[in-house]
Amino acid sequence: MINKNFFNSDPFDFDKKFRVNNFEKSIQKLTLHHYKKCSLYKKILNSLNFRFRSNIKLEDIPMLPARIFKRYDLYSVPKNKIVKTLVSSGTTSSNVSKIFLDSENAGNQVKALNQLMQSILGKDRLPMIIIDKDPRFSDRKKFSAKTAAILGFSYFGKKHFYLLDKNENIDYQGLDEFLKEFSDKNFFMFGFTSLIYENLLKKIDPKKINFNLSKGILLHGGGWKKLENLKISNLVFKKQLFKKLNIKKIFNYYGMVEQTGSIFLECENCGGFKTSRYSEIIIRDKNFNSLAPGKKGMIQIISSLPTSYPGHSILTEDNGKIIKDANCKSSFQGKCFTVDGRLEKAELRGCSDVR
**pLDDT on residue 156:** 92
**pLDDT on residue 197:** 93
Structural domain spans, the chain: 4-342
**pLDDT on residue 91:** 43
Q: What share of the chain is helix, strand, coil (3-state, %, to 5)?
A: 35, 25, 45
Please give the full DSSP string across 140-171, using - where no structure is assigned: SSEEEHHHHHHHHHHTTEEEEEESB-TTS-B-
Please give the Cα distance from 115 to 109 (Å, whole number). 10
**pLDDT on residue 222:** 80
For the whole model, what pTM was predicted?
Answer: 0.88
pLDDT digits (tens, 9 = 90+) for 290-322: 999 999 999 999 999 999 999 999 999 999 999
Please give the Cα distance from 28 to 45 (Å, whole number). 13
CA–CA–CA angle 144, 141, 83 (5° rounding)? 115
The β-bridge partners of 253 are 221, 265
Nearest to 129 by CA among 216, 201, 207: 216
pLDDT digits (tens, 9 = 90+) for 247-285: 999 999 999 889 988 999 999 888 899 999 999 999 999
Contact 271, 35 (CB under 8 A): no
**pLDDT on residue 234:** 87
Could you tell me which residues come within 8 angstroms of residue 52 by beta carbon, excluding any fewer than 6 positions away? 28, 31, 32, 35
DSSP label at residue 208: G
Nearest to 223 by CA among 236, 232, 214: 232
**pLDDT on residue 35:** 96
**pLDDT on residue 164:** 94
Strands 64-65, 126-130: pairing kind:
unpaired
Query: 4-342 has which CATH code?
Result: 3.40.50.12780
Please give the Cα distance from 49 to 319 (Å, whole number). 27
Stretches where the chain sits below pLDDT 50 are: 91-92, 141, 348, 350-355
